[in-house]
Amino acid sequence: MHFDIQKGLVILINKPLEWTSFDAVNKMRYAIIKYLRHHNPELFEGRKYRPKVGHAGTLDPLATGLLIVCAGKETKNIESYMGMEKEYTGSFFLGATRPSYDNETEIDAIFETSHITENDILTIAKKFTGELEQMPPMYSAIKKDGKKSYEAARAGEEIKHDLRKIFIKEFEITKIEMPLVYFRIVCSKGTYIRSIAFDFGKALNSGAYLNSLCRTRIGEFKIEDATDVEDFVNSMQIF
């Protein structure tokens, strides 16, 4: 791969499970620095040069899928990528909740599910479309009084967020294998799928948490066109 620091670069990455978005960006930045040191050594003469590399929208460590990484001058366009429509696939686990709304934390409550029918699930999904108000999870990167929400939550502090308006364009139930419900969601920027899982369980008079999640699309960018972090690093190697 040829990298022109003047034009910048947009890289579509398939983020691995348990990696943070920062992990992916950091490894890619290191590979880009090695590449530039070889091909553009003048950039490093007499100064500590650090190329700009950033991602357009965080994915949780327990989520996989499309991460847009921008480098060089393309980092100026990160906000425009972040504002694009998102598509996700994944599964909810019905009958239990976790404080983080996903598998990061232990189960804190068990709920009955014998009353839930397939028709109930399909009907409730239809109610989760259009403009909605959503409460972000306590375990999130949102800052409150200068402190990240998940840091406060892990320290046992209770953080109260404000409701946020989101837009769910599509909510499709793709398969039901109780206690797992598989879905595809198309939504606006700032939507927490973990919160949808929690609210979905409540709407069924039960409980639910996010069991798996993959971001499959951002705007017109698709997961099918993404590369693995290791493959990108290898493409930047100097032979």
Q: What is the pLDDT of residue 3?
A: 63
Q: Output phi, psi for 12, to 5 deg.
A: -95, 120
Domains of the chain, CATH where assigned: 9-83+222-235 (3.30.2350.10), 86-218 (3.30.2350.10)
Q: What is the pLDDT of residue 239?
A: 46
What's the pLDDT tens digit per position in 133-183?
A: 998 877 656 556 655 555 555 555 666 767 889 999 999 999 999 999 999
What's the pLDDT tens digit per position in 184-197?
A: 999 999 999 999 99
Q: Where are the alpha helices (DSSP H) in the chain?
A: 21-39, 78-82, 118-127, 149-154, 193-203, 229-235
Torsion on CA atoms 60, 65, 71, 75, rounded to nearest 10 = -60
Helix or strand or coil: residue 56?
coil
> pLDDT > 90: what percent of the chain?
71
Residues annotated catalytic, as ranges: 60
Cβ pair 229, 69 in contact under 8 A: no
